[in-house]
Amino acid sequence: MAVVVVGAGIAGLACARSLTEAGLAVRVLERSRVCGGRLATKRYDDRRTDIGAAYFTAQDDGFTSLVTRWQERGLVREWTDTLSVLDPDGSHQTTGPMRWAAPNGLRSLAEDLADGLDVTTDRTVEWIEPGPKVDGIAADAVVLAMPGPQALRVLHPELLNARTAVEDQRWLPSLAVTLVFPSRDWSDFHGAFVNDHPILQAVFDDGDRRGDTAPVLVAHTTAEFAENYVADPAAASDEVEAAVRTVLGLDTRAVTAHVHRWTYARPTAPGRTPFHLDEQRIGIAGDAWGNPRVETAWLSGMELGKALAAQLA
């Protein structure tokens, strides 16, 4: 038997590593073809673009030392501590924590964490029963490392503690629209948060953060706008492109546009505990267990792994 971790986003992979380091046998099952979840990099027109997390920040000591090791190996680089804020009545710059980016796309970090683990991709888990059992097969314990609504879909009604832990989570959708331009007609711009806009929430310069200076912008839409395009996300591209060109004052049209819909982009409220773990040996981790960020998801998975290893010992 082994601990089964369902979901190979950063939370699931961090949890699997933490359990492995504690000497436990672990299997990771991921429904997608690749690892990473919302740490997502997609290949468009033969170039990688980050379409999920725009960047990450690092404050926790453990996460910071992992980031330092990634930096030493050239997997991540400091991007910027300064982003723009576009308001209806003007714009200004805001300085905050260092935002980190990955030259090969943020998904490369998930691939790095998955290295050496027993990960099966293209494997959708349908049902977690008391036992616990994963699709009928007994496990030592089960970790669900995913948004609450996705966990609820697979949790048996008798796994009441786990269901109760996530049933109040509410999540918002977003569209990520990749716009490839003929040339870089913007200057002095890493990325911008867009305030009080009906369509846009943020726009990031993917060529700048990835470091290859490709003329590629990624726009993230508001949840309200994304709700209008549930059936046909691709139909949103013209409106998003027009909005981006207006807020950035760009004359040229994009050459191509690619739309990706995130049904569960972010939870509406930050969780108050770092993870869920109960006596039926069901754990739940992810970015909903704190401020919804990459670092939170990593920490949630790591901490759950440590607690579960202690419980099983």
Ligand X SMILES: Cc1cc2nc3c(=O)[nH]c(=O)nc-3n(C[C@H](O)[C@H](O)[C@H](O)COP(=O)(O)OP(=O)(O)OC[C@H]3O[C@@H](n4cnc5c(N)ncnc54)[C@H](O)[C@@H]3O)c2cc1C
Where on the chain is the footprint of ligand X (CB under 6 A)?
6-12, 29-32, 37-39, 52-56, 124-125, 145-147, 150, 154, 174, 176, 220, 262, 265-266, 286-287, 292-294, 297
Closest CA to 7 of 172, 15, 288, 155: 15
Identify which of residues 131 and 149 has a Cβ nearer to ligand X in the complex: 149
Closest CA to 190 of 292, 291, 42, 91: 91
Identify which of residues 56 and 181 has a Cβ nearer to ligand X in the complex: 56
Joined tokens for residue 92: 């200004």
Say if residues 52 and 264 touch (Cβ distance below 8 Å): no
Least distance in Å: CB of 264 to ligand X?
A: 7
Least distance in Å: CB of 255 to ligand X?
A: 22
Least distance in Å: CB of 140 to ligand X?
A: 18
Identify which of residues 297 and 308 has a Cβ nearer to ligand X in the complex: 297
Least distance in Å: CB of 216 to ligand X?
A: 15
Q: What distance in Å separates the CA atoms of residue 206 and residue 189, rounded to the nearest whole number? A: 11
Identify which of residues 35 and 214 has a Cβ nearer to ligand X in the complex: 35
Bridge partner list, 205? 217
Identify which of residues 194 and 294 has a Cβ nearer to ligand X in the complex: 294
> Could you tell me which residues come within 8 angstroms of residue 32 by beta carbon, excluding any fewer than 6 positions away?
8, 121, 122
Joined tokens for residue 119: 């990960």
Least distance in Å: CB of 230 to ligand X?
A: 16
105: three-class secondary structure by DSSP: coil
